[in-house]
């Protein structure tokens, strides 16, 4: 009899296990997939959309992700609103890799007067269009410089703070002049937060080339043979 009860109990446990598992799955919140984590709608959450107006005449929209790296997002927003990035070049641009900017000296060694940031490494992968913070050898040395990845580079994951993603204008990023530094570097004419509603800034039109003028004496001079 004991054997029969044990067998019946074991059978009941086996039968109940799938139902219990399903209940647990339904109760647990579904983890968001990485590719669903970024909102590509430029008209939503404008406080976390960084706009870069480039000297190539195009505008880049970047979705900032405070859930990934709150301190880094706050730093970039603060510097953008201060006009820190306006006029700064992309000083290190490696074809097939990334475009780096954020150094007002254009040498790759400069930054803002604000203290360096503590690293906020996260599991988000460095995909095409990822925006990540540059740093020196020390983990906690990021300040103002950031880079945009042209192609996936997963070797950077958990080593650099991934804080955003290009959601529009990746063609403008692709058009950034290459070089270390480039001979004719692409410039950030204006960096702004979409919520502030600043109009796009364009480079001034080049001045017309001076034309040769002919004096009255030259006009009245006899025509030679």
pLDDT tens profile 127-182: 999 999 999 999 999 999 999 999 999 999 999 999 999 999 999 999 999 999 99
Partnered with residue 60 across adjacent β-strands are 52
pLDDT over 50 (residue 17):
no
Residue 5 lies in a domain: no
Q: Is 105 within a domain?
A: yes
What are the tens digits of pLDDT across the range 83-137? 999 999 999 999 999 999 999 999 999 999 999 999 999 999 999 999 999 999 9
Among the listed residues 54, 109, 102, the one whose alpha carbon sits nearest the alpha carbon of residue 75: 102
Output the domain CATH number for residue 187. 2.40.100.10
Domain with 167, as residue range(s), is 48-196
Q: Which of 167, 165, 184 is nearest to 176 (CA)?
A: 184
pLDDT of the residue at 204: 85
Rounded CA gap, 50 and 202, in Å? Answer: 17
Is residue 167 one of the residues assigned to a domain? Answer: yes
Question: Has residue 99 been placed in a domain?
Answer: yes
pLDDT-based confidence at residue 205 (cuts at 50, 70, 90): confident
Reported as a single tens digit per residue, the pLDDT across 41-58 is 999 999 999 999 999 999
Confidence of residue 8 (pLDDT cuts 50, 70, 90): very low
Instruction: For 4-119, list the strands marked E by DSSP.
Output: 49-54, 59-64, 88-94, 98-101
Residue 124 near residue 159 (C-beta atoms within 8 A): no
**Which of 213, 80, 53 shows the shortest CA–CA distance to 146?**
80
Query: Greater confidence, 165 or 4?
Result: 165
Q: Residue 73 — pLDDT band, cuts 50, 70, 90? A: very high
- Is 18 a member of any domain? no
Report the Cα–Cα distance between both ends of the chain, in Å, rounded: 134
Global pTM reads 0.77
Residue 37 domain-assigned (yes or no): no
Q: Classify residue 153: in a domain, yes or no.
A: yes
Flag whether 94 is in a domain. Answer: yes
Q: Residue 7 pLDDT more than 50? A: no
- Name the domain count of the chain: 1
């Amino acid at each position: 009899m004991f054997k029969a009860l044990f067998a019946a109990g074991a059978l009941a446990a086996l039968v109940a296990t799938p139902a219990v598992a399903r209940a647990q799955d339904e109760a647990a919140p579904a983890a968001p997939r990485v590719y669903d984590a970024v909102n590509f709608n430029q008209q939503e959450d404008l406080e976390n959309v960084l706009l870069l107006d480039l000297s190539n005449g195009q505008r880049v929209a970047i979705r900032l992700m405070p859930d990934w790296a709150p301190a880094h997002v706050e730093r970039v927003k603060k510097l953008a609103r201060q006009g820190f990035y306006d006029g700064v070049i992309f000083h290190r641009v490696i074809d097939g890799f990334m475009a780096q900017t954020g150094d007002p000296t254009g040498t790759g060694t400069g930054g803002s007067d604000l203290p360096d940031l503590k690293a906020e490494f996260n599991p988000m992968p460095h995909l095409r269009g990822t925006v990540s913070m540059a740093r020196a050898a020390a983990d906690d040395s990021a300040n103002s410089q950031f880079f945009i990845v042209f192609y996936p580079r997963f070797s950077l994951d958990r080593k650099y703070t991934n804080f955003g993603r290009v959601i529009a204008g990746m063609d403008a990023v692709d058009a950034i002049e290459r070089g270390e530094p480039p001979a004719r570097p692409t410039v950030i004419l204006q960096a702004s937060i979409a919520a502030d509603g600043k109009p796009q800034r364009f480079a001034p039109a080049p001045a017309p080339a001076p034309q040769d003028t002919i004096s009255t004496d030259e006009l009245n001079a006899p025509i030679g043979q």
